[in-house]
Amino acid sequence: MRPLAHGLPGALTELLRAAPLSEGKVTFAWSAAVGPALERVTAVKLQGRVLLVETASAQWSREIMRSSPTILKRLRGFLGADVVDRIETRTNTNLQSATRDRRSAI
């Protein structure tokens, strides 16, 4: 499965960039930048110009940090070049149970 970023037309990207900055906009941009697998095991919050990413495990934190140059480039495309300077990760094992709960509900 390809990340949503590959399928967003340029017009939609421009509309997203022009929209006011909000929690929903940041969450949508994160989902589009990383795809469904990472989106399911993370939660994001913009604090200043730092994107705080809570992950379900240390392995996901390492994967995000390893991929952060690519993720930042995509986020800047959606949000604007001056919105996110860097990504920081934190492990939150409660996200694992939330992910399991969502899967069992499907």
Phi-psi sector, 35: left (phi>0), alpha (psi -120 to 50), beta = left
Classify the C-alpha dihedral 62-46-39-101 as positive or negative: positive
Query: Does the pLDDT at position 105 exceed 50?
Result: no
Sequence ranges of the domains in the chain: 9-105
Fold (CATH) for 9-105 = GMP Synthetase; Chain A, domain 3 (3.30.300)
- Predicted TM-score (pTM) of the model is 0.79
Give the model confidence (pLDDT) of 39-69 as tens digits.
999 999 999 999 999 999 999 999 999 999 9
